[in-house]
Amino acid sequence: MKRAKQIFLSIMAAVLVITGSFGTTALADGRRPKKVSISKSSMKVIQGKEFEIKAKMTPRRSDDDYLRWQIISGKKYVKFEDNDRDGDDMDFVAVKPGKAKIRCYVVGKNKKKYGDVITVTVKKRPADYSLRKVGSSKKIEEVYDDFDLEVKKGHSIKNSELKWTIKDKSIVGFESRRRTGREVEFVAKKTGTTKITCTCTNKKAKTKKITYTVKVVADDDDDYDYDDDYYYD
């Protein structure tokens, strides 16, 4: 019994050494590629965008579980999209302007001789001061219901630079104390029609104001006891 236990422990130790040496390639059950190549030596991407890089194996029908990706330099400029590092294609994210070098190689073979490298240049994202309405400019809401209004803004406009106002607060009120941002919640207080405006205070904005017309209609099925103190003016 003691000898059998020693044999079992020896086998388990050997398994741990093998799996530790080859990592994820323990899952590979096909042919190991002789070489891997990337179709282009360089590429340009815009800051904030996700992008994909594809690699080609030789022989073509090899097992891509043997392929591994790494960011050689410029890790502050690009990053992996997730925790995956294996396969013949890989997703990355362009973090900020700069240059990075990315390599794809065959596990167990010389990285420089049998792998390939691509240089990725991350370009600065162009300024965007656009401001647009979302959906129709005319809204119909039932009395006592909560609803939200939103605008679509360019990334150069800050949320704090978008300020919302209500023309007739007896018809519609703010659902909370927040009055700024891309999206704000409101509540219908009584039947009637009023205008709600989102004003951009950024001087570079192409559009300064977005106005929605909100018509509040009765809800015949709701016998709600209205309490004016609930809403924010």
pLDDT band at 222 (very low <50, low <70, confident <90, very high): low
pLDDT band at 36 (very low <50, low <70, confident <90, very high): very high
Please provide residue 111's backbone torsions phi and psi, each rounded to the nearest 5 degrees.
Answer: -65, -45
Strand partners, 90: 53
CA 211 from centroid of its chain's CA atoms: 29
Task: Please determine, for residue 9, whether its predicted confidence score (pLDDT) is greater than 60.
Answer: no
Closest to 182 (Cα-Cα) out of 200, 195, 166 = 200
Query: Distance between CA atoms of 10 and 22, rounded to whole angstroms?
Result: 19
Pairing of strands 146-153, 131-133: antiparallel
Mind listing the pLDDT tens digit for each residue in 93-149?
999 999 999 999 999 999 999 999 999 999 999 999 999 999 999 999 999 999 999
Residue 118 contacts residue 41 (beta carbons within 8 Å): yes
**What is the amino acid identity at position 166?**
I
In the numeric block, the tokens 């209205």 are attached to 226
pLDDT band at 47 (very low <50, low <70, confident <90, very high): very high
